[in-house]
């Protein structure tokens, strides 16, 4: 019996192809079903906005914060008038946080593309715009905190008889005095640095409420791994307050683990050896020596920009070389402040504009500025023989 002549309803132009190679595929004309999922682009956990002070700015270009220093006490001599301390304390200083330029992220969606697409575009684009704005938010705040850790207090009274200088920022080495940047990943060294930082904050009179730390993911998981292992070092096994917390909460990196009362978060937006979040390559004084997992794209391990975008002053938040030894932050809520004139929001064109261009622009915008506030509440962790470069402009 002869073979049937099959109608080539799945072939393109009676293609003789037999595989799955595009135009020559014998199934080329069959419908490609949408899975119902869209793979999201690189998304950082954005956390900094809620960990520092935030104020809304209206009808102005900057916001002023006032510092007041401490006062002394003395015994009263009977019969003498009380006319105020002779040193005229408390000393007062100010900190002004200026607005940056308007930050935007936008995409144009063509009506015909949206009509033909079998998946929803606008919601996904809006999310990605939000991620871009939030990433900017975190990176600026974390760099401002590192900047504060290198600053003296703005309150420095100039009295000839009494010193009235307030405490400034703190930089703490993770590990020994050697030049190994890899100490940044050693859980025992990290725990020791946390207790050192907690002691420094106590000594400088910083409130124990609202103390947090932000590490990169590998540092965070190194602590978890050492905690869950029976081979963990003694300092790690006894140093993590919430080491018995298990499951998703522990793995999530959202402040579950505590060391010395300091909640630990993880983020890919902290300054880390001149990069954001991580740095791959061989170990050295400025590279902790982590092997790249491969195919990391253009966003992972991105170097800190050498100049800020737009019309901002170059290096306002510090450039890559300023963070060549930085490997983590510990701070209290007063460490930095954010001022917002326009909070993160999404706008969409409509009306005549949509008719003229047959599509809509989806725009995300944000107007904010940030800087360190109380240097005493800022601690920068570094690895290697010396700390990072001096005070950031």
Lowest-pLDDT range of 68-82, 145-159, 174-188, 312-326: 312-326
The answer to whether residue 82 is domain-embedded is: yes
Give every CB contact of residue 27 below 8 A, 6+ residues apart in sequence: 10, 20
Closest CA to 147 of 187, 104, 97: 97
How confident is the model at residue 268, as a pLDDT?
A: 92
pLDDT at 393: 55
Q: Residue 118: inside a domain, yes or no?
A: yes
User: Whole-angstrom Cα distance, residue 180 to residue 163?
Assistant: 39
For 61-85, what is the mean pLDDT?
A: 84
What's the mean per-residue pLDDT of the chain? Answer: 82
Domain count, the chain: 1
Residues 149, 171: contact at Cβ < 8 Å? yes
Structure tokens at 135: 């990433």
Q: Where are the alpha helices (DSSP H) in 229-331?
A: 234-239, 248-252
- Asked if the structure places residue 25 within a domain, the reply is no
Higher pLDDT, 364 or 8: 364
Q: If we measure between CA atoms, which residue out of 326, 341, 310, 332 comes closest to residue 376?
A: 332
- Angle among Cα 147, 272, 245 to the nearest 5 degrees reads 105
Q: What is the pLDDT of residue 158?
A: 66
289-320 confidence digits (pLDDT tens): 999 999 998 888 899 987 655 445 546 888 89
pLDDT tens digits for range 49-59? 889 998 888 88
User: Does 8 fall in a domain?
Assistant: no
**Residue 107: CATH number of its domain:** 3.30.2400.10
Tell me the C-alpha distance between 376 and 150, whole Å: 10
Looking at residue 230, its pLDDT comes to: 46
Q: Number of C-alpha atoms within 13 angstroms, CB side, residue 135?
A: 20
Expressed as residue numbers, the domain containing 66 is: 53-382
Q: At what angle do helices 187-203 and 217-228 cross, to 10 degrees?
A: 110
In a domain, 270, yes or no: yes
26 occurs within a structural domain: no
Q: pLDDT of 242-280, one tens digit each?
A: 544 555 555 555 555 788 999 999 999 999 999 999 999
**In whole angstroms, what is the distance from residue 327 CA to residue 316 CA?**
20
Q: Tell me whether residue 321 is in a domain.
A: yes
Q: Which residue has the tokens 């949408």?
A: 34
In a domain, 124, yes or no: yes
């Amino acid at each position: 019996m002869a073979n049937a002549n099959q109608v080539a309803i799945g072939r393109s132009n009676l293609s003789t192809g037999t595989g799955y190679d595009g135009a020559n595929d014998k199934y080329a004309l069959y419908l490609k079903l949408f899975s119902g999922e869209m793979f999201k682009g690189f998304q950082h956990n954005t956390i900094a906005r809620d960990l520092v002070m935030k104020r809304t700015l209206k009808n102005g270009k900057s916001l002023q914060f006032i510092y007041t220093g401490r006062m002394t006490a003395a015994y009263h001599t009977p019969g003498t008038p009380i006319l105020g301390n002779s040193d005229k304390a408390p000393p007062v200083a100010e900190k002004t946080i200026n607005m940056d330029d308007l930050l935007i992220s936008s995409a144009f969606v063509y009506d015909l593309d949206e009509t033909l697409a079998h998946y929803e575009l606008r919601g996904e684009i809006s999310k990605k715009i939000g991620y871009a704005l939030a990433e900017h938010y975190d990176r600026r705040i974390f760099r401002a905190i590192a900047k504060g850790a290198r600053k003296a207090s703005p309150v420095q009274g100039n009295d000839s008889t009494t010193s009235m200088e307030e405490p400034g920022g703190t930089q703490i080495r993770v590990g020994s005095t050697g030049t190994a940047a890899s100490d940044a990943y050693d859980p025992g060294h990290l725990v020791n640095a946390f207790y050192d930082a907690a002691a420094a904050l106590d000594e400088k009179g910083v409130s124990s409420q609202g103390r947090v730390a932000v590490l990169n993911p590998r540092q965070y998981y190194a602590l978890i791994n050492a905690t869950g292992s029976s081979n963990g070092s003694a300092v790690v096994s006894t140093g993590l307050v919430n080491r018995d917390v298990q499951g998703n909460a522990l793995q999530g990196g959202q402040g579950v683990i505590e060391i010395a009362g300091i909640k630990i978060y993880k983020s890919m937006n902290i300054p880390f050896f001149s990069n954001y979040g991580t740095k791959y390559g061989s170990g050295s004084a400025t590279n902790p020596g982590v092997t790249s997992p491969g195919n990391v794209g253009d966003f992972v391990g991105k170097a800190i920009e050498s100049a800020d975008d737009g019309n901002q002053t170059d290096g306002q938040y510090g450039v890559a070389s300023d963070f060549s030894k930085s490997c983590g932050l510990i701070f209290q809520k007063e460490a930095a402040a954010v001022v917002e004139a326009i909070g993160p929001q999404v706008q969409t064109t409509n009306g005549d504009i949509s008719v003229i261009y047959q599509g809509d622009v989806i725009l995300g915008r944000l107007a904010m500025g940030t800087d360190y506030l109380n240097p005493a509440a800022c601690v920068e962790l570094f690895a290697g023989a010396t700390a990072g470069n001096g005070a950031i402009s």
